């Protein structure tokens, strides 16, 4: 259940950003979570609901965008299918994860004086 | 104030961050990494399920490298310091990091652990992570390499079930191979095939900490890490 640690890091970051701008409230957070990031979105949102009380995020809605894993050949950009060997069948080089490992804070919507 | 209509409402502004939520952990990991590089220390993050044989592999490593390399370890443990005690008994200068309820080590815990370990006098630092096949993979600790211990008794499909962990592995040690004669349904080739579907650079060594089988390849790989570290130092000086 590292999702609690992740929420803690998230709230701390939002707190720092809000303080820097003397925000009076935070309304919405937009985050991106990759399929291969190791973060369970359902556990993360539950952890967020529990953790946000009495923090800067108390009234902030959490908007999560899930990102599907996508492997590709770094040379020819051919997509490597789900469950396939992670090597390009043509170029014989190791595949690269093009997307799907994100644990990203994209945007904070806050109220400023 | 909202200056569009003069209603007196406050302004809601979007602030674009586009940064990893774990950025503060990553900064601490970079700090650890800098320390390791300065002292030419090779740091290995050893992960795997509870009971995969992480401690046993390190004990066997210590038996083989005794007197030749200076070994240290930080052992992450939920509730006890048993692993650190076993490692110390095997000749590895060790400290326990008791994580309480935390299912993983983070870079800050490792940094704190280093304060209680004479790491500047070591050639290798093994960070034995908390037994868990999910959470530890997410946190960078400042290590040079990630190694995952996977016991043959865990079943052939574990890599496919825990792709996040195995994707991060530089090397997988398939442990307890001395038990294979008792496991007619477990085949190393099947495990290897599963690894090649979750690791872009699949590298695995079957080993037995008990009999010492396969340990030579693991020790050779550790030696290569040290050569790479030394060459990097020479190149940058």
A17-41 confidence digits (pLDDT tens)? 999 999 999 999 999 999 999 999 9
- Judge whether residue A99 has pLDDT over 80: yes
The crossing angle, in degrees rounded to 10, of helices B54-65 and B82-89 is 20
pLDDT the model gives residue B229: 81
What proportion of chain B, given as a percentage, has pLDDT over 70? 95
pLDDT the model gives residue B9: 65
For residues B191-203, give the mean pLDDT: 98
Q: What is the CA radius of gyration of chain B?
A: 21
Q: How far apart are CA B234 and CA A10, in angstroms?
A: 40
pLDDT tens per residue across span B76-102 = 988 888 888 999 999 999 999 987 778
For A3-68+100-111, CATH number out of 3.40.47.40, 3.40.50.150, 3.40.50.720, 3.30.2320.50 equals 3.30.2320.50
Q: Where are the domains of chain A?
A: 3-68+100-111
Residue B8 near chain A (CB below 8 Å): no
Residue A110 near chain B (CB below 8 Å): yes
Res. B137 pLDDT band, cuts 50 70 90: very high
| Pairwise CB contact (< 8 Å): A106 & B201 | no
Which of B22, B32, B23 minimizes the C-alpha distance to B143? B32
Structural fold of domain B27-179+186-229: Rossmann fold (3.40.50)
For residues B168-194, give the mean pLDDT: 98
Residue A102: helix, strand or coil by DSSP?
coil
DSSP per-residue letters across B71-125 = EEEEEEESS--HHHHHHHHTT-EEEEEE-TT-SS--HHHHHHHHTTS-GGG-SEE
pLDDT tens per residue across span A61-85 = 999 999 999 999 999 999 999 999 9
Looking at chain B from residue 26 to 85, which residues have their Cβ under 8 Å from any Cβ of chain A?
A: none
Q: Where are the domains of chain B?
A: 27-179+186-229
End-to-end C-alpha distance for chain B, whole angstroms: 56
B129 interaction partners in chain A (CB closer than 8 Å): none
Contact indicator for B57, B177 with CB cutoff of 8 Å = no
Which of A49, A54, A52, A57 minimizes the C-alpha distance to A27? A57
B103 interaction partners in chain A (CB closer than 8 Å): 1-2
Q: What are phi and psi of B3, to 5 degrees?
A: -100, 10
B60: Cβ–Cβ under 8 A, 6 or more apart, which residues? B209, B210, B212, B215
pTM: 0.93
pLDDT tens per residue across span B14-28 = 999 999 999 999 999
The nearest CA of chain A is from the CA of B155 a distance in Å of: 18
Residue A104 near chain B (CB below 8 Å): yes
What is the overall mean pLDDT for chain B? 93
Side-chain half-sphere exposure of B191, counting CA atoms within 13 A: 24
In the sheet that holds A61-67, the strands lie side by side as: A61-67, A25-34, A103-112, B11-20
Torsion sign, CA atoms B149, B154, B159, B162 = negative
């Amino acid at each position: 259940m590292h999702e609690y640690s992740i929420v803690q890091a998230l709230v701390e970051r939002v707190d720092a950003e809000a303080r820097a701008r003397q925000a009076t409230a935070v309304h919405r957070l937009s985050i991106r979570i990759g399929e291969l990031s190791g973060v369970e979105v359902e556990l993360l949102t539950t952890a967020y609901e529990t953790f946000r009380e009495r923090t800067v995020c108390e009234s902030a809605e959490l908007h999560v965008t899930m990102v599907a894993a996508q492997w590709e050949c770094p040379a020819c950009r051919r997509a490597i299918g789900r469950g396939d060997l992670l090597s390009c069948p043509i170029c014989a080089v190791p595949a690269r994860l093009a997307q799907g490992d994100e644990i990203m804070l994209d945007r904070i919507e806050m109220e400023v004086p | 104030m909202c200056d569009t209509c003069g209603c007196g409402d406050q302004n809601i502004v979007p602030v674009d961050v586009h940064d990893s939520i774990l950025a503060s952990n990553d900064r601490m990991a970079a700090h650890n990494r800098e320390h390791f590089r300065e002292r030419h220390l090779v740091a290995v993050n050893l992960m795997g399920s509870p009971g995969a044989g992480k401690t046993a592999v390190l004990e066997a490593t210590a038996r083989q490298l005794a007197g030749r390399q200076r070994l240290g370890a930080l052992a992450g443990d939920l509730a006890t310091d048993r692993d650190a005690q076993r490692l110390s008994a095997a000749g590895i200068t060790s400290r326990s990091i008791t994580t309480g309820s935390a299912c993983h080590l983070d870079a800050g815990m490792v940094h704190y652990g280093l304060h209680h370990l004479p790491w500047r006098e070591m050639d290798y630092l093994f960070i034995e992570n908390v037994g868990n096949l999910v959470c530890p993979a997410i946190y960078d600790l400042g290590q040079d390499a990630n190694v995952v211990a996977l016991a043959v008794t865990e079943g052939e499909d574990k890599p496919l079930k825990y792709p996040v962990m195995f994707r991060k592995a530089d090397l997988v040690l398939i442990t307890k191979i001395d038990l294979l004669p008792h496991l007619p349904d477990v085949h190393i080739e099947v495990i290897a095939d599963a690894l090649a579907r979750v690791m872009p650079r699949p590298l695995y060594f079957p080993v037995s900490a008990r009999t010492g089988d396969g340990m030579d390849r693991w020790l050779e790989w550790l030696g290569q890490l040290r050569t790479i570290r030394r060459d990097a130092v020479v190149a940058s000086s």
